A and B are shown apart, each in its own frame.
Chain A
């Protein structure tokens, strides 16, 4: 028998009919491979987004006195430059109108004054800590999303169980569990024009014949993934009627997330990122640099949410950024590296329409080190709630080692 790529495909289907009672791991695998499994999408805002100009504490006098040129005006009917009020104390940046609709539909929640407890103001260290999930500990080898995958093994996981829409596998997904970096869904494969099949078949057969017990199984998984992706041809995907993704790289990334999810590839974890938040100079207020980037960000996430429609019942999106920015603006109409930040949580399982967390205040003596928004929610408590109550994880200790993540610390932004 010739061991070709096609052979692998035929032999790798899971027979599920007639299995009863179904062991839980199999049920889980079935759910995953049928495309109806739970999904977590993590979106990293690299460069430290200014949470105070994204979810604006317009009820704070100090916010306005400390940001004379970049503060977003208090909410006012008919004023498109003003903050969009959420609850009388917080408001959204005016370009985040699409988020306001999700908020009103209870699909979007905010956890404010959240982030990493480590006091570093280095992008490098802080991103590293947020991805390793072990603030202060640099020698952690793997990322917390990968440790989640390790902690919840499933029988015959899809090669797409953990996917990152980046060219390299990011730290957050690195580790023992298989995970896939797909920089572009329509360019995943050997890409040799009309020779593609010939080359891939040849390689599949070489690996199968080798009997290399480490490399051969990995090659098999690889070609399965390539073939599956090619078969579902996500590039031909058309978004739902009326949904428009913003132009620009982030909007396109969100579109690819939808393509992957709707292709029913057995995806459970998706990672995507958007850079450019490090606004030390000319950050802008209602308009300007932050506003432009935020328009892409909010528009992209909202489009994805609309596009997935009912599928959002099984999806939670969490946004992260390594730290917040100084409460006071600096001498260049920008902000410097700060501490706590705002996290968005979006999805069907979210008890949205609320700003969660404990607001620490902006009085000088309430600030962290006299200058930054203090932290009242550890980012791991937010993530732990999602992976426990949404993904059904049971082994929090291995996902967040050296951390006491307990349900009683959860902010309870998920339903049920």
Chain B
């Protein structure tokens, strides 16, 4: 077996040597020059044709599905890469259909807040509408069952874990799921499930890989306060559309997105010398919002409409608000707070403490260290402070106004700043844009970003020669991500035999590649794979630190982690993961060695290594002997699980 395989690989290599280099043929078939005139050139390395395709599918996307290798063979490697680099040219109806039922993906943050209100918005409604304004308590509870639950929980006076456990124990699985789907948890669930479905089924594989890559690079944590309502929009509007575009656009989109402003606290940062009155500031918000065509109070209105209040009732409510608060506007609550949904029940006087007491360097530091220059990128603590000064005033409207991006000049440091040696004279909101211009074009950024891309696509320690080439393209094209990738896909380093299977899959890559290899059918619910991702230690959108998840083997290879991968593999193969179905391939094998060969080819898209094949055959024979009642199907599923759990499948 091995010698056959080796011989055929050798034949291909010899053919390549004797005839025209395959790269030329492939270049010709790519046909289509890119925007900057360069084309993908596949260098001639010691890889066979099929090996190349499998390697490519493992890197440009989440691994081959049955039939993918043949498809790329038909299209041609270079043409396939070019297609992937231009995702808008790829029809992707299958995924659109799968995501059609995921309502929250199409909702703006303000709509999400109104539909799945956070506790403090509910409390506010309760205070303003309920007791104080004489609304019938029963009608309130009917419209806002969450409020009733909150109250019940408090009155029962049990330890929170105990009472929650007791309450949940009384619910069926369906009821629990239903409850989750009626609350903010639904946003996280749908976003996570959509990520899995896209990665598994989208034809735009590179776009999904790059969306994941950049989200992780510009990480936000969906569990931090308001980010639960903001992350969907962050991925859809800031990350995905820019994933293959210009780095500066991507950087700018993340910098001003509310999810990032909230996550890294820039919304709390202000000029320490700023002399402002919170009340004036609120008026300023209102003015700004009107100027920008936003509807102050729109969120409360939407909430009430959604809960079945009539226009009449709502108008009366707002009228009462106006009468009740001469010098206090109805939107005076602060934002979600730094401490998450439960953080804010302070009295107004206390509310004003603890916010905006000066410069917050958090975003500035991560912007330089993680998003652009890199930790050794040549900046100082003073640069961090200067960058933070430039970003003062980039903030968010308060929660009842929807936590939207707003620039408030009163909070902005009006002085002159010096960032990385360049002087920035006060230009208000433009100061931060100047910073982004400077750092996006800094040579350290070109290197830092190129190295990180090479680490994702090539190996944990990518060759410096490759990073140099990519960084050069980055600089030459003003940070054109597509061009940088083109350089990488044309490099010898990418196609070097040492790069093949050099990467250990992250849990996400493992799960998605298993779904693809087995051609599994993932339903929209229940979200078995979302749960599996938690158990594998990579909860989706759940990376707390701004570093995101690591992309190197050391982070993912540990005892507990490996055991969990094995469990997921066995669960998948035996159809035990809720919401996931694996059909066995047709054309049943006659004996165990045929079975092993067939499954191996299907799951790894290459002949099994001899050692794995032998071990698997022996184990299968032993299992068949031990359990005499086991069916062919049972044995096939066992072998499939073993293969998915095998070390060969953990690599890409």
Residues of A participating in the B interface, judged by any CB pair closer than 8 Å? 2, 120-125, 128, 132, 138-141, 159, 167-169, 171, 176, 178-182, 188-192, 194-195, 198-199, 201-203, 205-212, 214-216, 218-219, 221-222, 225-226, 248-250, 274-276, 278, 280-282, 284, 287-289, 292-293, 295-296, 330-332, 334, 336-337, 369-371
Q: Are A138 and B546 in contact (CB under 8 A)?
A: yes
Q: Is the interface of B mostly helix, strand, loop or mixed?
A: helix
Contacts of A191 in B (CB 8 A): 567
Contacts of A248 in B (CB 8 A): 159, 161-162, 165
Contacts of B340 in A (CB 8 A): 122-124
Find the B residue at minimum CB distance from A2: B618
Q: Are A276 and B366 in contact (CB under 8 A)?
A: no
Q: A289-B160, A292-B159 in contact; A138/B366 too (CB < 8 A)?
A: yes
Q: Are A330 and B347 in contact (CB under 8 A)?
A: yes
**B588 interface residue per 8 A CB criterion:** no
How far apart sit A108 and B552, CA to CA, in the bound complex (Å)?
Answer: 43
Q: Are B159 and A280 in contact (CB under 8 A)?
A: no
Chain B 344-379: CB-based contact to A (< 8 A → 1; otherwise 0): 011100100110000000100110011000010000
Q: Are B535 and A209 in contact (CB under 8 A)?
A: no
Residues of B participating in the A interface, judged by any CB pair closer than 8 Å? 154, 157-162, 165, 221, 223-225, 338-340, 342-343, 345-347, 350, 353-354, 362, 365-366, 369-370, 375, 504, 534-535, 537, 539, 544-547, 550, 553-554, 557-563, 566-567, 570, 609, 611-612, 614-616, 618-620, 622-623, 626-627, 638, 641-642, 645-648, 650-651
How far apart sit A168 and B428, CA to CA, in the bound complex (Å)?
Answer: 45
The answer, among A122, A195, A219, A295, for a CB contact under 8 Å with B339, is A122
Interface centre among A189, A219, A278, A331 (most CB of B within 10 A): A219
Contacts of A212 in B (CB 8 A): 647, 651
Whole-angstrom distance between the Cβ of A25 and the nearest chain B Cβ? 21
20 more contacts with CB within 8 A, not counting A138-B366, A284-B157, A334-B345, are A124-B221, A124-B340, A138-B545, A140-B545, A179-B560, A180-B559, A190-B567, A195-B638, A198-B638, A201-B622, A203-B566, A208-B615, A209-B615, A215-B562, A219-B562, A276-B161, A280-B345, A282-B154, A331-B347, A337-B343
Task: Sample 30 A-B pairs with CB under 8 A, ordered by A number.
Answer: A121-B338, A121-B354, A128-B544, A132-B545, A167-B534, A168-B537, A171-B544, A171-B545, A190-B567, A192-B570, A194-B627, A198-B626, A199-B638, A199-B641, A205-B618, A206-B612, A207-B646, A210-B609, A210-B611, A219-B562, A221-B559, A248-B162, A275-B161, A280-B342, A284-B157, A289-B154, A289-B157, A331-B345, A331-B346, A370-B353
Q: Are A209 and B338 in contact (CB under 8 A)?
A: no
Contacts of A203 in B (CB 8 A): 566, 642, 645-646
Find the A residue at minimum CB distance from B553: A214
Contacts of B642 in A (CB 8 A): 199, 202-203, 206
The answer, among B161, B221, B224, B354, for a CB contact under 8 Å with A250, is B161
Find the A residue at minimum CB distance from B369: A139
Whole-angstrom distance between the Cβ of B231 and the nearest chain A Cβ? 14
How far apart sit A337 and B353, CA to CA, in the bound complex (Å)?
Answer: 12
How far apart sit A395 and B485, CA to CA, in the bound complex (Å)?
Answer: 43
Interface centre among A190, A201, A274 (most CB of B within 10 A): A190
Q: A138-B546, A190-B567, A218-B558 in contact; A202/B159 too (CB < 8 A)?
A: no
Q: Are A222 and B161 in contact (CB under 8 A)?
A: no
Whole-angstrom distance between the Cβ of B502 and the nearest chain A Cβ? 11
Whole-angstrom distance between the Cβ of A45 and the nearest chain B Cβ? 12
Whole-angstrom distance between the Cβ of B528 and the nearest chain A Cβ? 15
Contacts of B165 in A (CB 8 A): 248-249
How far apart sit A139 and B225, CA to CA, in the bound complex (Å)?
Answer: 20
Whole-angstrom distance between the Cβ of A7 and the nearest chain B Cβ? 13
Q: Are A280 and B611 in contact (CB under 8 A)?
A: no
The answer, among B154, B545, B615, for a CB contact under 8 Å with A206, is B615
Q: Are A209 and B614 in contact (CB under 8 A)?
A: yes
Q: Are B539 and A168 in contact (CB under 8 A)?
A: yes
How far apart sit A206 and B610, CA to CA, in the bound complex (Å)?
Answer: 11
How far apart sit A323 and B560, CA to CA, in the bound complex (Å)?
Answer: 30
Whole-angstrom distance between the Cβ of A386 and the nearest chain B Cβ? 25
Contacts of B221 in A (CB 8 A): 124
How far apart sit A248 and B169, CA to CA, in the bound complex (Å)?
Answer: 13
The answer, among B159, B559, B611, B647, for a CB contact under 8 Å with A222, is B559
Whole-angstrom distance between the Cβ of A194 and the nearest chain B Cβ? 8
Q: A128-B545, A178-B558, A289-B157 in contact; A210/B369 too (CB < 8 A)?
A: no
Contacts of B646 in A (CB 8 A): 203, 206-207, 210
Contacts of A226 in B (CB 8 A): 563
Q: Are A330 and B645 in contact (CB under 8 A)?
A: no
Contacts of B570 in A (CB 8 A): 190, 192, 199
Find the A residue at minimum CB distance from B544: A128
Q: Are A336 and B619 in contact (CB under 8 A)?
A: no
How far apart sit A140 and B370, CA to CA, in the bound complex (Å)?
Answer: 12
Whole-angstrom distance between the Cβ of B212 and the nearest chain A Cβ? 20
Q: A198-B627, A249-B161, A371-B353 in contact; A225/B650 too (CB < 8 A)?
A: no
Q: Are A288 and B157 in contact (CB under 8 A)?
A: yes
Contacts of A287 in B (CB 8 A): 157
Q: Are B157 and A202 in contact (CB under 8 A)?
A: no
Q: Are B347 and A139 in contact (CB under 8 A)?
A: no
Q: Are A202 and B623 in contact (CB under 8 A)?
A: yes
How far apart sit A331 and B80, CA to CA, in the bound complex (Å)?
Answer: 63
Q: Are A159 and B345 in contact (CB under 8 A)?
A: no
Q: Are A139 and B370 in contact (CB under 8 A)?
A: yes
Find the A residue at minimum CB distance from B569: A203
How far apart sit A207 and B350, CA to CA, in the bound complex (Å)?
Answer: 60
Contacts of A182 in B (CB 8 A): 560
Contacts of B563 in A (CB 8 A): 188-190, 222, 226
Whole-angstrom distance between the Cβ of A392 and the nearest chain B Cβ? 25
Find the A residue at minimum CB distance from B370: A139
Contacts of A123 in B (CB 8 A): 339-340, 343
Q: Are B647 and A278 in contact (CB under 8 A)?
A: no
How far apart sit A124 and B342, CA to CA, in the bound complex (Å)?
Answer: 12
How far apart sit A178 and B162, CA to CA, in the bound complex (Å)?
Answer: 33
Find the A residue at minimum CB distance from B546: A138
Whole-angstrom distance between the Cβ of A189 and the nearest chain B Cβ? 8
Q: Are B544 and A124 in contact (CB under 8 A)?
A: yes
Q: A121-B338, A168-B534, A274-B161 in contact; A190/B615 too (CB < 8 A)?
A: no
